[in-house]
A and B are shown apart, each in its own frame.
Chain A
Amino acid sequence: MTLLNVENLSVTLATSSGSAQAVRNLAFNLDIGEILGIAGESGSGKTMTALGLMRLLPHKGFATGSILFDGKNLLAESNKAYRDIRGNQISMIFQDPMTSLHPMIKIETQLTEHIRHHKKISQEAAHIRALELLNTVKIPDPASALEAMPKQFSGGMRQRIAIAVALACDPKLLIADEPTTALDVTVQAGILRLLDQLRREKNLAVMVITHDLGVLSSLTDRIMIMYAGSEVESGLTSDILKNPRHPYTKGLISALPTSDLSGKTLKTIEGMPPELGKIPSGCAFHPRCSYSRDPCALEIPQAVQISAKHRIFCPVNPLVNS
């Protein structure tokens, strides 16, 4: 069942040289209990997509289009009505657990303030809920953890606490923005396992944003690849990783380090992603693309359906038909 349906989403940000589009005409959907991965280089608009959904865009930034969540258009809700959804039915985990928790507020308050606000429950009930949440995210000794300050925990533990904060009101949708990027590799696996377990136990829909395709391969059902604010390819995780069609996706996957290539130089995609506000005409990827032909610079590519759930935004024939 579809929980989230995003159509035509664009995000405009204010920059020093005027406004610029960070996300352009994005469309995707997400089912209950599904994990969607959104991948791309830094600056591809992944985080702005998430912040657009959360209506937490930076000063003077705004989103247009439609975001249907559980039948409601989130962009049309008033601020007050939206605040009742945010943190309650949709919640978010941020990249850096060292800065996303308030350094001067003890864990219990940070874990229960929104439960008490949204669910109108007593302090005692919230306390019990907080203990339960810390158990769920496997924090040892929850009772004393509640009394502690964030700086008494390691990065991995803080991210677990941040996940507990996000889960506190039993949301339907969890957005995880680079949830493991700031963590050690060994800690990463634990966090990913936790997200997967939560999805299965609570039927949670999860949107994971990352630049690390390795993270997505083990966790997600589907992947959407973004470049310069637009989707370039999306499909089932296995399709994307084993049978990528878009030249950009191919480049990303061949740039992954693998053990059998040891001693060889890592492959890279030539050139740099465009800066905000300086997006090339037509297909944004064409200046870096080895398949690029004349029309690529002129026409914005339309979606080409490869299979039921696999599509690319590139009309160049050899790729579509390979």
Chain B
Amino acid sequence: MQQIKKSKNLTLAGYLSAKVSSSFAKFIYKRVAIGLLMMIGITFIAFAVTQVVPGDPAAVNLGQSAMSNPEIVARWRAEYGLDKPVPEQYARYITKVLHGDLGVSQHSRRPVSQDLAEYFPATIEIALVAIIFSILIGFSLGIISAMTRDRLPDQLIRVLSLTGVSMPTFWTSLVVFYIFFFKLGWFPGTGRLDPGGDEPIHLTGLYTIDALVHGQFSIAWIALKHLALPAIVLATYTIGVLTRFTRASVLEILGNDYVRSARAKGLPEWLVIKRHVLRPALLSIITVAGVAFGGLLSGSVLVENVFSWPGLGQYAFKSAIALDLPGIMGVSIVVAGVFILMNLIVDILYRVIDPNLRSE
């Protein structure tokens, strides 16, 4: 699945930069190949870690009475292949994964790929909304902050961004939930849709997009309202990080000789910022934004719990406490895949932003 996603991406990017297509394609193929190797390495590490953790999956998943019956335990272990030696277990697992089979979850008793297909889009949806808002707001605030260095707007923004970074997510979740749902009633409380509400026709699994594509505007509106609070909570921290990072990066660039040259030309300050500062600033900011997006995906457990958001975080949490090996591995693979994909996108954006990288 990952592979298909990536190859789609690279042909699209390839069209965009037809000028340098051959060196660009070479770069993409190399990066995808490295990415796949990294994924295999990650499955190995994740597998090894689950073996080291003390605890017996059988004891967690079978009841006490079943546990006292050695025959049932043996059959359960055989069913999930846990009776085999560990290296063989890994070899069998990785062979199946390479054939697209992620195994069957021990706690949901469904194929892991089916679980992921259900939970993953929910997380992607809030993470996407959160990261888009974070980049727009964080980048703008950071630039304003740097341009008004040590003056009032800068000081206000610095206090706000420090607050954003310092507030623990679980606490923000509870406060936001209490104020906007319980007290003010402006937003719906939990879940992705109103209880008993219709789901949009399935396409991507992102409810707002699916509903919009199929013209189900009332469902899109409901889904959007449900999305708002958890996305805001998730974005709080990322906005803070990106604001502070943008400020630091813009200040550093403002101190460069080439910015002094631009000012020496008598250009208006907005043009100096737009043409001479933003481009190099973007280079460092997209790096952080890429990492932050990965963090949003894997770090949304607490927020998902407070807002009963049926996402990857919740699934990862349930898999972990059930010592559900296929589940844990499935989540690891998806999250690792997203990180690798994000890095690839960041590297492509580097080349879009910095013309010097294109000719190399």
Contact = CB atoms under 8 A, between A and B. Distances in A.
A113 B267 contact: yes
A85 interface: yes
- Chain B interface secondary structure, helix, strand, loop or mixed? helix
Given A94-B261, A99-B256, A102-B261, A114 B355 contact: no
Nearest to A115: B265
Contact of B257 (A91, A94, A113): A94
Contacts of A117: 265-268, 271
B275 A113 contact: yes
A86 B279 contact: no
B280 interface: yes
Nearest to A55: B263
A104 B355 contact: yes
Interface residues of A, number: 32
Contacts of B261: 94, 100-102, 162, 165
A83 B257 contact: no
A104 B266 contact: no
Given A56-B260, A165-B261, A105 B266 contact: no
B19 to A, nearest CB: 13
A162 B262 CA distance: 11
A88 B262 CA distance: 12
B356 interface: yes
A86 B256 contact: no
Contacts of B264: 54, 56, 86-87, 91-92, 94
B267 A83 contact: yes
A151 B356 contact: yes
Given A59-B149, A149-B356, A151-B356, A103 B267 contact: no
| Candidate in B149, B257, B268, B275 with the most chain A CB atoms within 10 angstroms | B257
Contacts of A109: 275
Contacts of B267: 83, 87, 113-114, 117
Contact of A149 (B150, B258, B262, B355): B355
Contacts of B268: 83, 117
A84 interface: yes
Contacts of B150: 60
- Max count, chain B CB within 10 A of own CB: residue among A85, A92, A109: A92
Contacts of A84: 266
A236 to B, nearest CB: 30
A70 B325 CA distance: 80
Interface in B120-172: 149-150
A103 B275 contact: no
A158 to B, nearest CB: 11
Interface string B266-281: 1110010001100110
B354 interface: yes
Contacts of A162: 261
Nearest to B263: A56
B266 A94 contact: no
A117 B283 CA distance: 27
Most buried by A among B258, B262, B263, B267: B258
Nearest to B259: A102
Given A149-B356, A151-B356, A102 B276 contact: yes
List the 8 closest A-B pairs by CB distance, nearest first: A87-B266, A87-B265, A114-B265, A86-B266, A99-B257, A102-B258, A83-B266, A100-B257
Interface of B: 149-150, 256-258, 260-268, 271, 275-276, 279-280, 353-356, 359
28 contacts: A56-B264, A82-B266, A83-B268, A86-B263, A86-B264, A86-B266, A87-B265, A87-B267, A94-B257, A94-B264, A96-B257, A100-B261, A101-B258, A101-B261, A102-B261, A102-B262, A102-B276, A103-B258, A104-B279, A104-B280, A104-B353, A106-B355, A113-B271, A114-B265, A117-B267, A117-B271, A162-B261, A165-B261
Given A86-B265, A149-B355, 15 more contacts: A56-B263, A60-B150, A83-B268, A84-B266, A87-B267, A88-B266, A92-B264, A103-B356, A105-B275, A105-B276, A113-B267, A113-B275, A114-B266, A114-B267, A118-B266
